[in-house]
Amino acid sequence: MLLTLVATLALSVANPATPAHPAGCGHVYLPEYDETAGLYAQQNAVSWPDSMPLESRADEPNIQSIKQMTFGGQNAEAYWSKDGKHLVYQSFQPGYPDEQIFVMNTDGSNRHLVSTGKGRCTCSYFSPDNKWIYFSSTHTKNEGPQQKLDMSKGYLWMVNPQFSVYRIPAGPAMKGQSTKPSPIITLNGYVAETTIAPNGKYLTFTSDFEGDLEIYRADLDGKNIKKLTDEPGYDGGPFVSWDSKHIVYRRDTIDSTEELNDYKKLLSEHLVRPSRLEIWIMDANGKNKRQVTHLGCASFAPFLHPNGKEILFSSNYGDPKAREFDIFKINVDGTGLRRITNSPDFDGFPMLSRDGKKLVWASNRNGKVRGETNIFTADWKD
């Protein structure tokens, strides 16, 4: 969730005065964004191009023919439509109280707002038939920005109970027509981190409405909710495989009674303290759960390769200061770990197109001000 405007996990730990992040899809790990400099840069810039080619790096052989798709602010969590013709993403831009949902064609054209422009939005996704755009939003409960939190208890994320899942008709939205979002899932607690099975039979989301942060699935109309995880700790960030048979996710394992008590106390205050996030995989019905990574660091935003054999994910693995986040690839059996990106600061939220030929992700590369994060696409080379 979260296109956060503040520091990475490591920077926040080092500076307890830094505002807390909301829990969710992983924007908490974006570097601190210089909002004032960003606003000045946008006011003095020419209009955005549709896209711009960017030189490939010799140490990133898997990504070629890179194109930058956004040009200012903080933009992340961009996801392909099933037909590969559109992208939906969230962005913090001048004039809005908090992050909002935008769409564009995959050549960067027809870029515009599709959420209400109110409250805070996150975790958007196209339905596989391209009829709907789903996202979570706080706009009916809070039209302003998400509150900042006191970090005196250390580095925390907010599990915002004002989030509900909504959807809007994709056709009018893609034409720039304003439509009122319809509520799909509203529960007594946090409801976000939604992704949708490409076969159109179910969606997944994360919620704490039963007292713990767990992963659920439901029909696309929000009915027939079923819990998929049931262990203490933060299970979240589910992504459904292109064949709709598996779900990859991240898990914050609880290893001691002290950690469990701390987790429960914070969750009662709508907070979590992230520690070691590992990548897991399970069947679409919640069975056959197994841990994939054992890296002991912050790993998140997994996506299963269309071949079903490899997982792309974001992690700060290998950085002693825990500030450098890159995209990695690993086999589903936990072998063959390989680093994919090498640019400074942040690279994350990878998603491969259905045919496995295109990658979309968010990165700080080529930013004009500190912490600027943009959307990029590239040809994927296995």
Determine the pLDDT at residue 27.
61
pLDDT above 90 covers a percentage of the chain that reads: 79
Give pTM, 2 decimals.
0.91
Mean pLDDT of 128-143: 98
Q: Where does 9-380 sit in CATH, by number? A: 2.120.10.30
- For residue 6, is pLDDT > 60? no
Mean pLDDT of 103-119: 96
- For residue 277, is pLDDT > 70? yes
pLDDT band at 370 (very low <50, low <70, confident <90, very high): confident
Mean of all residue pLDDT scores within the chain: 89
Q: Give per-residue pLDDT as tens, 51-80.
A: 999 999 999 999 999 999 999 999 999 999
Mean pLDDT of 183-199: 98
Q: Give per-residue pLDDT as tens, 148-163.
A: 877 777 778 889 999 9
First-to-last alpha carbon distance for the chain, in angstroms, is 29
pLDDT band at 39 (very low <50, low <70, confident <90, very high): low
Determine the pLDDT at residue 254.
87
pLDDT band at 12 (very low <50, low <70, confident <90, very high): very low
pLDDT band at 273 (very low <50, low <70, confident <90, very high): confident
CA dihedral of residues 326, 331, 337, 339 (deg, nearest 10): -30
Determine the pLDDT at residue 223.
98
Q: What angle do CA 361, 366, 371 make, to 5 degrees?
A: 80
Determine the pLDDT at residue 157.
84
Task: List b or e across 169-204, with b for residues whose CB sees 16 or more CB atoms inside 10 angstroms.
Answer: bbeebbeeeeeebeebbebebbbbbbbbbeeeebbb
The one-character DSSP state at 55 is P
Would you tell me how many other CB atoms lie within 10 Å of the CB of residue 369?
A: 17
Determine the pLDDT at residue 26.
61
> Which of 120, 133, 132 has the alpha carbon at shortest distance from 88?
133
